[in-house]
Amino acid sequence: MDLVSIIIPYYKKRRYITDTLKSVLKQTYKNFEIIIIYDDDDKDELKFIKKLVNIDKRIILMINKKSLGAGLSRNKGIKKSKGRYVSFIDADDLWKKNKLELQIKFMKEKNLLISHTDYEIIDNENNILNYRTARNFHSISDLLKSCDIGLSSVIVEKEILTKGCLFVNLKTKEDFVLWLKILKKNIKIGGLQKNLMYWRKLSNSLSSSIIQKIKDGYSVYNKFMKFNLFKSVFFLFLLSINSLFK
């Protein structure tokens, strides 16, 4: 049974992190390590997090000297990780208990280096708001118009997370850039059409900030994809339109 490294950046999610960890610790697939990266300049919640770390010997805590953001924090977790597989879950999301087991089986059967799954969108009270279906992505053009991959559903073989293929320094859309980088390497992203996680949509989260998403969306196309102004604005428009239906 291959080791899975589970990366969790933490920033002011005290209300949810306990349930998130419980959903990971209840996995039917037991060979994993959990790496929590504390990414808050305010250390008021650090004592609370340290207590959670003591719940299970498989939990490792890293503390950033200064806040780096979720993407760069995940990169630190990846560097620390020892697993063949790396999996991501944000500190307010939830997994179903057979997520790792079914997804790793799927990846081995299909000979995949990276995969994602269906997921349900929930609010702060766990009410179900919407549903997303996973699909296969074979090329950049398949994903370019809309980021349809739930970060907390992704499992990837660590071998493809090289220096040039990690999360970028954006407040949002940092995962979108990584998936595009992976597709640029001609690595297929497989979609497991099973609902194995819950993504929490919070009104005060960075991902809900329209202005921030527009700025970062433009950076995806102009800075990282090297598109010119016109092409960047065109794809940003498509991305924004598609996000309205999410």
pLDDT of residue 208: 52
pLDDT of residue 172: 92
173: alpha, beta or left, given left = phi > 0 and alpha = psi -120 to 50?
A: left
Q: Give the mean pLDDT of 185-206.
A: 90
In this structure, the number of other CB atoms found within 10 A of the CB of residue 230 comes to 8
Indicate the DSSP class of residue 208: G
* pLDDT band, residue 129 (cuts 50/70/90): very high
d(CA 146, CA 31) in angstroms, rounded, equals 34
* pLDDT band, residue 179 (cuts 50/70/90): very high
d(CA 105, CA 109) in angstroms, rounded, equals 6
Instruction: Give pLDDT tens digits for 13-61.
Output: 999 999 999 999 999 999 999 999 999 999 999 999 999 999 999 999 9
Selected from 3.30.70.270, 3.30.428.10, 3.30.70.20, 3.90.550.10, the CATH number assigned to the domain covering 4-205 reads 3.90.550.10
Residue boundaries of the structural domains of the chain? 4-205
Of 209, 210, 204, 208, the closest CA to residue 15 belongs to 204
* pLDDT band, residue 211 (cuts 50/70/90): confident
Instruction: Give pLDDT tens digits for 89-109.
Output: 999 999 999 999 999 999 999
pLDDT of residue 122: 96
Instruction: Give pLDDT tens digits for 144-168.
Output: 999 889 999 999 999 999 988 999 9
Residue 175's H or E segment, with its range, is helix 174-184
